[in-house]
Amino acid sequence: MGTILIIDDDSALRALLGQILHQSGWEVLEAEDGEAGIQLARSHRPEVVLCDLLMPRCNGFQVCRCLRAEQNLRDVKIIVTSGRSYVTDRLHALEAGADEYLVKPIQTDELRRLLKRLTARESEGDTRVLTVPVYQAPLVRFWGVRGSIPTPGPSTMFYGGNTSCVEVRADGEIIIFDAGSGIRALGLQLSQEFKDQPLDLTLLLSHTHWDHIQGFPFFMPAYNPRNRLRILGYEGATQGLFRTLSGQMESPYFPIGLEEIPANIRIEELRDMEFTIGRVKARAWFVNHPGICVGYRLETSAGSIAYVPDMEPFHRLRSQPNPNDTSVRASVEFAMHEDRKLAEFIDGADLLIMDSQYDEAEYQSHIGWGHACVDDVANLAVLARVKQLFLFHHDPAHDDEKVSRLVAHARQIVSDQGGDTVVEAAREGLEIKLGG
């Protein structure tokens, strides 16, 4: 067992904790204030520092910052202890560099468990989570399927009312498409399933319209400092990803800022259209939708998944209002060329999850809104020889019956075209096993 340093101005508590930890095999050092604690940490380089929050000559926040600033003390595990249970204190302690925050009175069992976990993790040498063995078989699971705004209620019970969020598990990765309101339930599922086990997650953002990011502040795994979350997406039309994501968490809208979130979050603005997530090959494609918006395609060992949540076919937009005009005709030809490129992007996909917000008649009054109609999507899926199509981004005005009618209509189109694409509508909770 290693050395533990207790920094606390309460001598009785120091003595009691010291005795308990000594019995557990720890070499115990004690300091009665922050400055003395920092000196002892420098001279003895303990494995763990148990540090009170409020004490003279450097409070716990300052001790954390000081130890983290020193090269040879960066690996020391710091547990901040405090009689205060404010969430902001906990967040600030973690932000200052603490690994954990314990509220007094300290429960001996809880402290022992915590020490075991912290020191065991150190011996692994890498906090990256080896999640492969515990993940289920490769799958795709829908957590939010609605476009524009959440629409919970009796009329959307079957397909669901949460906005865009789709989970992919494959090749040892958990990859999340978009952070609409559906990501809240995904977060709860992950927290329940993996409990104390640290998670390594990747969130791919198609774009930052609110229905694709609004659930992020409620994603529980982001509040666990042991988790790693990589957020990937493209810089928006007017500002970068970080600014947009933090903007929705500023104080007028939300009590905790993005920078205060304790998980290890890395926001990466993508520049290339091809990249990798572990062993998964990923590609992105800019689609026709207001602002900067992409679709993604993942190549996993269990199959390929294309996710295009918001998209309006180019040719539809350009066909208006007078397709016989020669200048319009050139424009339409260009647009059809662009649409063919999208078809190539999704070509042969095992699963295609695609914006099918409107029916043909509705689309006529929503031209230029950035969304597709079911007819176009069904035709595109057949053209691209997609194996399974999931209609997605359901219109907030569509009840379950309407969505089912759209599925039937899309199946009819596929059949008329002689295609063999299987058509379903995405619905919350639906789980598709990959790889047969």
Binding site residues, Zn ion, CB under 5 A? 147, 209, 211, 310
Nearer to Zn ion, 299 or 310 (CB): 310
Q: What is the nearest approach in angstroms of Zn ion to the Cβ of residue 208?
A: 9
Nearer to Zn ion, 310 or 376 (CB): 310
Nearer to Zn ion, 147 or 172 (CB): 147
CB 299 within 8 A of CB 175: no
Q: What is the nearest approach in angstroms of Zn ion to the Cβ of residue 117?
A: 40
Nearer to Zn ion, 115 or 145 (CB): 145
CB 309 within 8 A of CB 392: yes
Nearer to Zn ion, 240 or 396 (CB): 396
Strand-by-strand arrangement of the 27-31 sheet: 27-31, 3-7, 48-52, 77-82, 100-103
Q: What is the nearest approach in angstroms of Zn ion to the Cβ of residue 220?
A: 23
d(CA 358, CA 51): 58
Nearer to Zn ion, 236 or 262 (CB): 236
Q: What is the nearest approach in angstroms of Zn ion to the Cβ of residue 133?
A: 35
The total number of residues written for the chain in this structure? 436
| Nearest residue to the partner Zn ion, using Cβ | 209
d(CA 18, CA 89): 25
Tokens 């000559």 appear where? 57
Q: What is the nearest approach in angstroms of Zn ion to the Cβ of residue 285?
A: 15
What is the sign, positive or negative, of the torsion defined by CA atoms of 48, 52, 58, 64? positive
d(CA 391, CA 294): 17
114 SS3 class = helix
Nearer to Zn ion, 92 or 209 (CB): 209
CB 67 within 8 A of CB 43: no
What stretches of 198-279 show up as alpha helix (H) in DSSP? Answer: 241-247
Query: DSSP assignment, residue 4?
Result: E
- The two beta strands, 100-103 and 139-144, are unpaired
Q: What is the nearest approach in angstroms of Zn ion to the Cβ of residue 317?
A: 15
Nearer to Zn ion, 59 or 164 (CB): 164
Nearer to Zn ion, 24 or 248 (CB): 248
Q: What is the nearest approach in angstroms of Zn ion to the Cβ of residue 207?
A: 6
DSSP collapsed to 3 states, 256-311: CCHHHCCCEEEEEECCCCEEEECCEEEEEEECCCCCCCEEEEEEECCEEEEEECCC
Q: What is the nearest approach in angstroms of Zn ion to the Cβ of residue 293?
A: 6
Q: What is the nearest approach in angstroms of Zn ion to the Cβ of residue 370?
A: 6
d(CA 388, CA 237): 32
For the chain, what is the largest distance between any 2 Cα atoms, rounded to a whole number of angstroms? 90
CB 383 within 8 A of CB 133: no
